[in-house]
Structure 1
């Protein structure tokens, strides 16, 4: 995760929707979705998770997009689908790949000897500096050259224009280390201008206003820079700027290039193509680990749900998607949605997202389709509230607690919401800290992360809570079969008009 929810006729109101979910439709005469869901077994999901773990172990410990481990994960999903009678589609696309291969080094040599602590490769804490995403590689010793810095900073953010214009580098000595301050333009613009001026490395330091003093983290957005680029705090930047002639060493070891990756898609033989109930999960891990909770859990559960669904006689077609490059900012789902025609988009009645559904210190989070908590991100498109109600219905029928969570843009529902497709899904928590109230309601340990191995090498098969996985799997199946059997789907009127795709806000765009 980029750091994140019946049966019968569906009426417009949530009350009528829940009543419909509790009674057999006289039109479809479908079995109880809860009974159908019981056929989707958590033991089979665990077998898929073990297979994904073995794939990672055989390919350098990772299943990240752009690596052989991801290609093997793709092949595993495709093979399983074909054996179940599907004709899966593999959708290829290009994306910017980045990996930090070993710990970076940064030290002031003169006038003082200071060694700065790097940020760990797994991002588990923040050091004195951060290797910017899409930084180049190199081991550089050179003199620091401040570039149009503003010390002290202005009263407002973005008062600094340091490095935004090529003219800022007039007279820049080739081989020097550019010291550039945050502000006005993107990190990418600053780094590209510095490289063009002959800089051997770039140190980006935070601008200095309240909220802009800590260690600078972020991305250059594209693999166009070949020299080391690191981010650091305002205080370190100020120290390096004076006196003139300060020397430093900067070393980064990265891979930054353009690679190919894939989405995998499949849909059931039965059901209307005009009313598609779509479910998705990202298949890729981060580079540092196997990604068994994030997001082998969602991918494996979705795979088993698909395998048990192809022979069902449902009114509405079920479509399943395993996304590539989610960890690179939702690129797989963004590519897919952006390539849809208006007619194809209008056929997708809803999108259900499953990203991290087995967190060890879990909460049963359901995406807040109606913004009932009136905080954070707004409600989803029309129909999202009804999705939330059906997901809640499963947990209510099992006597299990649940809690809303915002559509904060950190997972693959983002592109679907951006084009007006009703969305929902489940999530058991990532790096967030469980509260005492949540521990009292859901069990587990207050004061600890929902997933202590989030984006870390320890995210393996031991990092799965089997109870959370079991109930989320059943909730997924219950929801798919409820909407798959429904005579009318929520948001139908809204999607009859033309949809246009606007790319979701880039959570990792080059910041200013």
Structure 2
């Protein structure tokens, strides 16, 4: 009965959003007919209502051309554009060809290639405990709401083996927490000031034999086993337990002299496969002062990913090609800064493409013009066309504790500039979390200011948001309260029909405005970093939240 209720509720929400999309798109048709034609007269006094010549060049029909291509790549290849699939390879090749073959494009295009481990879990993992002559098995299911445990992404394999179990002190974020754990399985609670990946690395340095993480249970969403990834280089078998399963072991350890666990994890290894980033930069502008615009090009395996993140990929491509077209004219003043556009691969398995780029840019052997410190700002566009959308602006002030304050200050300035544009257009807006859950994360962790836009994923639109949006956009245009921003998030239905064209166009125009606004700053370094640039750089992977699938 509950399952039927959920299905009916989802269907009704989808139908309502379909109606809303039609109304929004009817409104967009009226807006498109009044849009000021592309102008290349000057960039000091932009014409039109968008306060930006580059923004005035953004047309829905150009965005749709790319989105239709992305959808066709998925449709022809198992309805996915996930890394390791032909759909992803065709997406990357298409982006690269668009950048290289347009006659007006003088962009320098670079393909970065990096390996990803390819494996699957063979059969069902096994976990049981024994203490004081009693043995009990934990239940495994692929349904997280019904299972006692699941495996950690990048777990090592282990044949059926018995280990003594010990509780790690605190949250396992310090080496001292792993006293007397050598050769044993350790029980570690989620949380603390470090990631699961960090805990795994610390445990390995103490010669721990196996990892049993359990969720903290402080909210209803943290009762089931957490999904997360360890480092690709992880050498320890690792399982993720539900709060109830973890607490049962915790209680056993506190009431018994000895607890043993038996576990087995079998992996089917397929070697590695290559994943690609595509970057393209202007030949003009100071290469030591670079504005980076990024989006990820892969989808999840479960769907074609047209909103997540075909919408960001297409937006980035239109920005790059339109800027190249303007640069090819003699009447559009080129920015004093180099502009680099990047399409990251492997975001959905943990920001792997962006991490790889940041790590390579930190290497001493990297050419000077490609050094990480050359990047002044990272603008990130991940999900811009959600059907129950918000005009979401990354809230620079909500960055993770430990992030460079100088980078936060610059990020706040970018947030405010976005906010000012939406206000000038009489459009509503929301601040969204700046948690590092997309590809700007490793750049922000390295002390580089960041900003971007987000139309909403699996969160829920509130009645207050609906009312605010209706007050700005008109009665019936505020969206559906109580429904998720994108009901097709990470699902097979994330197709072109899932895109709200009105909201999407406004988001891409905002992105175009921001690029031109920053590009025309006389002294962008001082504007972003009035107190100087940060000098201490964190390890990029230490910044991220833990999830198999990111935004």
Shorter-chain TM-score tier = 0.7 to 0.9
TM-aligned CA distance change 1:357 to 1:226, over 3 Å: same
Counterpart of 2:228 in structure 1 is: 218
1:399-410 matched pairs, under 5 angstroms: 399-410=426-437
Shift of 1:262: 1.8
Following the alignment from structure 1 to structure 2, what is the Cα–Cα distance between the partners of residues 60 and 76? 18
Counterpart of 2:141 in structure 1 is: 118
Match of 2:515 among 467, 480, 505: 480
1:92-241 matched pairs, under 5 angstroms: 92-95=113-116, 97=117, 104=124, 116=139, 118-120=141-143, 127-135=147-155, 145=162, 147-149=164-166, 157-158=171-172, 164-166=181-183, 168=184, 181-182=187-188, 186-187=199-200, 204=212, 206=214, 215-222=225-232, 229-233=238-242, 235-236=244-245
Counterpart of 1:20 in structure 2 is: none
Is the partner of 2:325 in helix, strand or coil?
coil
Match of 2:502 among 461, 467, 477: 467
Tell me if 1:315 matches 2:334: yes
Is the partner of 1:447 in helix, strand or coil?
coil
Match of 1:332 among 350, 353, 371: 353
Structure 1 unaligned segments of length 5 or more: list them. Answer: 1-26, 169-178, 197-201
Match of 2:74 among 45, 48, 56: 56
Tell me if 1:507 matches 2:544: yes
State the number of aligned residues.
456
Following the alignment from structure 1 to structure 2, what is the Cα–Cα distance between the partners of residues 75 and 347? 27
Tell me if 1:295 matches 2:309: yes
Following the alignment from structure 1 to structure 2, what is the Cα–Cα distance between the partners of residues 301 and 474? 9
Match of 1:394 among 421, 428, 431: 421
TM-aligned CA distance change 1:187 to 1:36, over 3 Å: closer
Q: Is the 8 A contact 2:406 2:529 kept in 1?
A: no
Q: Is the 8 A contact 2:413 2:528 kept in 1?
A: no
Counterpart of 2:483 in structure 1 is: 448
Following the alignment from structure 2 to structure 1, what is the Cα–Cα distance between the partners of residues 120 and 277? 24
Bigger mean CA offset, 488-497 vs 455-464:
488-497
* TM-score (structure 1 length as normaliser): 0.73
TM-aligned CA distance change 1:41 to 1:417, over 3 Å: same
Bigger mean CA offset, 476-485 vs 331-340:
331-340
Shift of 1:224: 5.1
Q: Is the 8 A contact 1:108 1:248 kept in 2?
A: yes
Q: Is the 8 A contact 2:178 2:206 kept in 1?
A: no
Following the alignment from structure 1 to structure 2, what is the Cα–Cα distance between the partners of residues 127 and 216? 11
Note the alpha carbon deviations across 1:438-476, whole angstroms, 9 max, x for none: 232232223332222323333332322222211111111
Bigger mean CA offset, 378-387 vs 273-282:
378-387
Is the partner of 2:416 in helix, strand or coil?
helix
Following the alignment from structure 1 to structure 2, what is the Cα–Cα distance between the partners of residues 56 and 226? 35
Shift of 1:299: 0.7
Counterpart of 1:37 in structure 2 is: 55
Shift of 1:104: 4.8
Structure 2 unaligned segments of length 5 or more: list them. Answer: 1-41, 193-197, 327-331, 363-367, 470-477
Match of 1:457 among 485, 492, 509: 492
Shift of 1:81: 0.6
Following the alignment from structure 1 to structure 2, what is the Cα–Cα distance between the partners of residues 285 and 93? 18
Shift of 1:163: 9.2
* TM-score (structure 2 length as normaliser): 0.68
Instruction: Considering fraction of residues, name the structure with more helix.
Output: 2
Bigger mean CA offset, 466-475 vs 39-48:
39-48
Note the alpha carbon deviations across 1:63-98, whole angstroms, 9 max, x for none: 223443322211110011112223311122234x46
TM-aligned CA distance change 1:134 to 1:30, over 3 Å: same
Q: Is the 8 A contact 2:307 2:386 kept in 1?
A: yes
Following the alignment from structure 1 to structure 2, what is the Cα–Cα distance between the partners of residues 90 and 193? 39
Bigger mean CA offset, 99-108 vs 466-475:
99-108
Following the alignment from structure 2 to structure 1, what is the Cα–Cα distance between the partners of residues 217 and 129? 28
Q: Is the 8 A contact 1:367 1:388 kept in 2?
A: yes
Q: Is the 8 A contact 2:466 2:480 kept in 1?
A: yes
TM-aligned CA distance change 1:232 to 1:401, over 3 Å: same
Is the partner of 1:311 in helix, strand or coil?
helix
Cα root mean square deviation, aligned: 4.4
Is the partner of 1:181 in helix, strand or coil?
strand
TM-aligned CA distance change 1:107 to 1:339, over 3 Å: closer
